[in-house]
Amino acid sequence: MIRSLAFNVFFYVFTLLTAVVGIVLVPIPTPVVLRTLLHWWARTVVWAGRWIGGMKVEIRGRANLPAHGPALLANKHHSESDGIYLAALIPGIAFVAMQELFRYPLIGAILYRLQMIRVDACGGGKEREHLAQFAKRAHNSARHIAIYPEGNLMAPGERERYRSGIYYLYRDLNLPVTPVATSLGLLWNRRDWRKKAGRCAIEFLAPIETGLDKQTFMRRLEETIETASDRLIAEFSGRPYTPSELVLRSQGQTGIGQPINAPRAAL
């Protein structure tokens, strides 16, 4: 509990101070300076998570992570920490984010300057149009593009319906997709205040080649990410392997109940 409190104090104070610095940098014409700040902030948070919060995160499958962009990553989404670890690993990464985030004070202006990819939560043609427009800009800048196909934060052991936006990026940009599995939610679950000391992993999986039809691609992507994430959850929680349960948070379902926890970390 003390480690969690200490990490939270550091995280929120440090994030607020970084956001203030970011606002000062927003008027600079190039986004490169702000992207460097994001990368530095993320690396510092990862360091604090390890040494203050006791969260030991293994990075697996680095050979499957494209060294240079443009590249497409499709990620399991357990918490805000998913994006933090990716930003720490990949300078200049472009995240696909709901446009509501762009309306927040401070954060919205920074996201605009970082040239993140905004989409409409309502989906449909408007979402596809925004994805195409802003993703093309990131593609032309040779950036890694990260998208969360479920569109919602899911607790360990949960899965949402995968949205088709990732398919249209895959098809229109003609790029392979690197699936990313995780068990980060065991330590930093969704929006939970309390963080848990322990071990977990992020795993970059073998890329899905270009040229697949929509149905084949979506089925393969979901099976790949969910199977690997469930395997990591079983490994680091010490529980038997259990397939994730469909929870439609986008339609008001609240979840599977008690979240899966990692074993208590050795002191």
Predicted confidence at residue 123, as pLDDT, reads 55
Our separate counts of H helices and E strands in the chain read 7, 9
pTM for the model: 0.89
pLDDT in tens, 199-238: 999 999 999 999 999 999 999 999 999 999 999 999 999 9
pLDDT in tens, 66-84: 999 899 999 999 888 999 9
Residue 203, helix vs strand vs coil = strand
The position carrying tokens 């969704």 is 190
Mean of the per-residue pLDDT values of the chain: 88
N-terminal to C-terminal alpha carbon distance within the chain: 13
- Average pLDDT on 166-180 reads 95
Q: Which two tokens stand for residue 212?
A: 């697949």
In this model, does residue 122 exceed pLDDT 60?
A: no
Architecture of domain 2-251: 3-Layer(aba) Sandwich (3.40)
For the chain, what are the domain ranges? 2-251
